[in-house]
Structures are given as structure tokens and as C-alpha cells.
């Protein structure tokens, strides 16, 4: 009986000591990151010194070279480039003019949707038909749609507290709008920007086509332009809009995922990923989406090295290419991971929800691993990380789920994210240095716990 009691006391003491050590290390990680981080300056360079980083562009290539060099300077054990062929689409000139039946004209702020076909140099001029949902559109006869520009005016639902839920509900109009409208003979489609911000910034994003349906040009209106169009259309149903869109699709281009490792001291074959996507839409600087996630992930490696932390498992930083219009980087890495029998990808963390104040993590994957992730909440909630319920990882890392990898997403405060998402307003000046660094410290702390204890 005494022996059993001693064993129990020994185990309790050992567990308590480990918890104390974890608390000390996590505090060190936060202190160091909030005083010594390079993430903000890296992001400044990505946003202000490199051209827009859309896949296939010169800016994307410069971003690959810059981050590759910076990761080498940090002192990673290895830095390498994974080759990826990516789409090469260019926006070109874009313009929209509203013309009333009495001959007056007014510009409308638009942005071409990513992957859209263009118009002729003269553009497309046609009457506009406004509909508020796909269900409403389905009730219209083709004769009332043929030859017109369809305007899908479906807002993000303001009653959804989680703005990602509101985005997920509305984004189908951006993706499917052109296909749905073309089936009834529309010549172009306009959609309401995926935002709740009443300003004059239009928000782009990927849209879809299928070869069996005529491909028509597609663009998004700013919410200021939406209100202008709605107001005038109500008084003048015969108004017309001219769309001029000079976008073009080119052959696929060579690009790369940027990858850096800090090798594990005890189980180097077990891999823990932290990453974001390096590409960004070309109408802004990609500060929140997703320059923030990239530099936060790079900071993980820098913090570990500067604090002298020797992780038991290998930490791998991945800056994925082509999340925005193809997911080629995430898919290519998952193919590599599946073929590489010498490595076991036990966890992957992605930051792709903006550089705002972190609120927690969401995990998806095998139930036991998800519960292990959630068990770390008491160690981290003192730093504001109290939201551990979101069941989502990230677009680039989700292809790893079939390998048994638990995928984890950093959950920041989402209320302002869609003010800037995919818009020209997603610029460096919208980043708060402390919030960015808090996110980096949060990821670093979870990486530390996963590297220390595994599953």
C-alpha cells in the first residue's frame, strides 16, 4: 500500500513539474516574441518592397526568394524549395460605367473575379437584372435573362456572429454565379463583394467555370457601388452597365513552396508543420491574407532558435504557394508527404484568418488527437486563447487529413477580417504589430507543446 502511494505521489510530482516547466517555457516564448520578433518587419518588406504576390507573377517569385533567404539567415537546419506549377492569370484593366436611360453616366467600383474571362476592348454593354438569391433566379424565364448582366445581390448575413460562417454562406454566389447566370443566356455577372464593410473597396476571389457552360465575365461590386446601382435601378429599370475587363489566362507557371526545418532531437521523423500561404490577390498587398500567417510561421522558427529550444520532434515551416486560386501548393505537399515513408506528419497548424488578436485554435482530425489539442487550453488561456471549439484547420493543410494528420487553425478575432479580405484595402497599415506578434507567440507555444509531447 505504501509503495502504491509512493508511486502515485511520484507521478503527481512529475506531472506537476512538467506543467511548471511548460508554463515557464510558454511565458518565455511570449516574452521573447513580444520584445524580439522580426515578423512585423518581414511583413513590411513583403507588403511594401515586393510587387503583388498572385501565383505566377514576378511578385510571387520575389516573395519566394525573400523568404527563402530570410529562413536561411535565421539558421534553420535545412531550407528548401518544393517545385509547384501554378495558374498564371492577370487582371489587366477593369472599369464599369453605369448609364441611365437619360444618358447620364456614373462609374462603379468593381474588381474582376479571379480566373474570369475578359471582355473585348470595347467591353460589354447591357441592361442589368438584379436578383437576391439563386432560388429567385431559378424562377425567372430565360427570356428575361438572355443578353443581360445579372447582378446577384446576396449579402453576408450580419446575424452570424462568426463572420466566417457569414462568408461561407454568401461565397457560393461568387463561385457559382457566372455558371448559373450563363445557363439562361446572361452575358456577364456581377456579385456583391464578400464583406460587411460599407466602403468603396471591391473584394475579389476565385470563381468557377465548367466547360459545358458558356464562360462569361464576372466581377464584384463594392458595397458603395451596390447601393448606387440598387438605388438607380429602382428608379430606372432600363439603365445599362458597361463592363471593360482586360483579364487574361496564361499557361501555368513555375513556382515553389518555401520549406524550412528545425530537426527534432528525439523523434525527428515526426513532423509538426506551421505555415501560411505566400500568394495573395493582386489588388492589394496581402497583409492579413496571408502575409501575416507566413511571417508568424517564420517567427516560430526564429523564436525556437534564439531561445535555444531543442524540439523533440521536427518543426517544419511551410509557406504555401497558390492557396488563392488553385491550392496547388497544399496539394503538392500532401502528395510529397504521402510518398515519403520516412516521415510521419502528426500535426499541421495554419494561420490564414488574419493578423488580429488570437482567440484560440480549432482542430480537425482523429478524435483522440483533437482532444489532445484541446487539453492544452489550460496552459494557454492565460494569454487570451480561450476559443477551442472551431472544427477547421486550413485550406493548405487539409489535404494532409487523409494521412491521419490533425490539422489546426489559429482562430483570431474575426470581426474585421472581411473588411480587408481580398480587397485593395488589405495593406500593411492595417496590421497591428502587437496583435501580429501575439499570434506568432500563440502558434509557437502550441508547436512547443506538440513537439514536446506528441500524441
Active-site residue numbers? 323
Burial class (CB in 10 A: 0-12, 13-18, 19+), 301: buried
> Quick check: 410 and 297 in contact, CB under 8 A?
no
> Quick check: 434 and 397 in contact, CB under 8 A?
no
Q: Count other Cβ atoms within 10 Å, centred on residue 77.
A: 14
Q: Which of 236, 7, 229, 272 is nearest to 106 (CA)?
A: 229
- 3-state class (DSSP) for residue 180: helix
> Measured at the alpha carbon of residue 84, what is the angle toward residues 280 and 345, in degrees to the nearest 5?
90
- What are the backbone dihedrals phi and psi of residue 104, each rounded to the nearest 5 degrees, phi first? -75, 155
H-helix or E-strand spanning residue 198: none
Q: Which of 296, 273, 413 is nearest to 344 (CA)?
A: 273
Radius of gyration of the chain (CA): 24
- 3-state class (DSSP) for residue 369: helix
Bridging pattern class, strands 94-99 and 240-245: antiparallel
247: Cβ–Cβ under 8 A, 6 or more apart, which residues? 89, 90, 91, 92, 94, 112, 116, 117, 118
Tell me the C-alpha distance between 254 and 308, whole Å.
36
Amino acid at each position: 500500500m505504501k509503495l502504491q502511494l509512493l508511486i502515485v505521489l511520484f507521478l503527481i510530482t512529475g506531472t506537476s513539474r512538467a506543467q511548471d516547466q511548460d508554463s515557464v517555457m510558454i511565458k518565455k516564448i511570449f516574452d521573447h516574441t513580444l520584445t524580439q520578433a522580426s515578423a512585423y518587419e518581414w511583413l513590411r518588406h513583403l507588403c511594401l518592397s515586393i510587387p503583388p504576390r498572385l501565383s505566377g507573377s514576378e511578385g510571387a517569385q520575389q516573395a519566394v526568394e525573400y523568404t527563402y533567404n530570410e529562413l536561411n539567415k535565421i539558421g534553420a537546419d535545412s531550407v528548401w524549395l518544393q517545385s509547384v506549377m501554378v495558374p498564371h492569370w492577370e487582371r489587366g484593366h477593369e472599369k464599369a460605367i453605369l448609364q441611365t436611360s437619360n444618358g447620364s453616366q456614373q462609374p462603379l467600383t468593381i474588381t474582376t473575379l479571379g480566373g474570369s474571362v475578359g471582355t473585348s476592348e470595347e467591353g460589354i454593354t447591357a441592361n442589368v437584372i438584379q436578383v437576391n438569391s439563386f432560388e429567385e433566379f431559378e424562377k425567372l424565364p430565360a427570356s428575361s435573362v438572355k443578353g443581360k448582366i445579372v447582378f446577384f445581390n446576396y449579402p453576408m448575413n450580419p446575424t452570424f456572429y462568426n463572420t466566417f460562417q457569414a462568408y461561407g454562406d454568401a461565397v457560393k454566389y461568387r463561385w457559382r454565379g457566372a455558371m448559373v447566370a450563363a445557363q439562361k443566356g446572361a452575358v456577364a455577372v456581377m456579385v456583391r463583394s464578400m464583406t460587411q464593410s460599407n466602403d468603396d473597396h471591391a473584394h475579389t476571389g476565385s470563381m468557377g467555370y465548367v466547360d459545358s457552360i458558356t464562360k462569361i465575365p464576372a466581377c464584384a461590386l463594392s458595397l458603395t457601388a451596390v447601393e448606387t446601382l440598387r438605388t438607380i435601378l429602382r428608379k430606372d429599370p432600363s439603365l445599362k452597365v458597361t463592363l471593360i475587363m482586360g483579364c487574361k489566362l496564361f499557361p501555368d507557371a513555375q513556382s515553389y513552396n518555401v520549406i524550412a526545418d528545425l530537426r527534432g532531437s528525439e523523434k525527428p521523423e515526426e513532423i509538426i508543420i506551421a505555415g501560411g500561404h505566400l500568394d495573395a490577390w493582386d489588388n492589394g498587398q496581402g497583409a492579413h491574407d496571408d502575409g501575416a500567417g507566413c511571417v508568424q510561421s517564420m517567427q516560430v522558427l526564429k523564436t525556437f532558435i534564439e531561445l535555444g529550444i531543442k524540439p523533440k520532434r521536427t518543426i517544419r515551416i511551410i509557406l504555401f504557394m497558390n492557396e488563392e486560386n488553385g491550392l496547388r501548393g497544399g496539394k503538392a505537399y500532401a502528395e510529397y508527404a504521402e510518398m515519403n515513408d520516412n516521415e510521419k506528419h502528426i500535426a499541421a497548424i495554419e494561420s490564414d484568418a488574419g493578423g488580429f488578436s488570437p482567440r484560440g485554435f480549432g482542430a480537425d482530425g482523429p478524435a483522440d488527437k483533437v482532444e489532445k489539442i484541446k487539453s492544452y487550453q489550460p496552459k494557454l488561456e492565460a494569454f487570451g486563447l480561450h476559443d477551442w471549439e472551431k472544427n477547421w484547420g486550413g485550406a493548405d493543410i487539409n489535404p494532409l487529413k487523409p494521412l491521419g494528420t490533425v490539422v489546426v487553425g489559429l482562430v483570431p478575432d474575426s470581426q474585421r477580417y472581411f473588411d480587408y479580405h481580398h480587397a485593395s484595402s488589405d495593406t500593411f497599415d492595417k496590421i497591428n504589430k502587437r496583435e501580429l506578434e501575439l499570434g506568432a507567440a500563440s502558434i509557437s507555444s502550441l508547436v512547443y507543446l506538440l513537439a514536446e509531447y506528441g500524441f
